[in-house]
Amino acid sequence: MALYETNFNFPGQTAFYRGKVRDVYTVGSHLIMIASDRISAFDHILPKPIPHKGQVLNQTASYFLNATRDIVPNWLIANPDPNVAIGLSCEPVKLEMVVRGYLAGHAWREYRAGKRSICGVQMPEGLRESDPLPEPIITPATKAESGHDEDISADEILTRGIVDGDLWDKLCAYTQALFARGTEMAARQGLILVDTKYEFGLVDDTVYLIDEIHTPDSSRYYYADGYQERQERGEHQKQLSKEFVREWLMGHGFQGLDGQQMPVMPESFVHTVTERYIELYETVTGKAFERSSAIENISDRIDHNIRTYFGWE
Q: Across residues 299-303, what is the average pLDDT?
A: 96
Spatial CA neighbour of 137 closest among 188, 196, 187:
196
Which ranges constitute the DSSP H helices of the chain? 53-66, 105-112, 154-159, 165-188, 227-233, 243-251, 267-285, 298-310
What is each CA distance from 299 to 2, 103, 117, 296, in whole angstroms? 10, 40, 46, 9
Q: What is the pLDDT of residues 115-132, one digit of tens each?
A: 999 999 999 999 999 999
Q: Name the CATH architecture for the domain at 92-244.
A: 2-Layer Sandwich (3.30)
Residue 271 pLDDT more than 70? yes
Euclidean distance between CA atoms 27 and 310, whole angstroms: 10
Spatial CA neighbour of 212 closest among 74, 81, 306, 78:
74
Mean pLDDT, rounded, of the chain: 94
The whole-number pLDDT of residue 30 equals 96
Residue 280 pLDDT more than 90? no
Q: What is the pLDDT of residues 131-162, one digit of tens each?
A: 999 999 999 999 765 556 789 999 999 999 99
Euclidean distance between CA atoms 263 and 200, whole angstroms: 34
Euclidean distance between CA atoms 11 and 117, whole angstroms: 50
Residues forming a β-bridge with 95: 142
Euclidean distance between CA atoms 241 and 216, whole angstroms: 5
Residue 166 pLDDT more than 60? yes
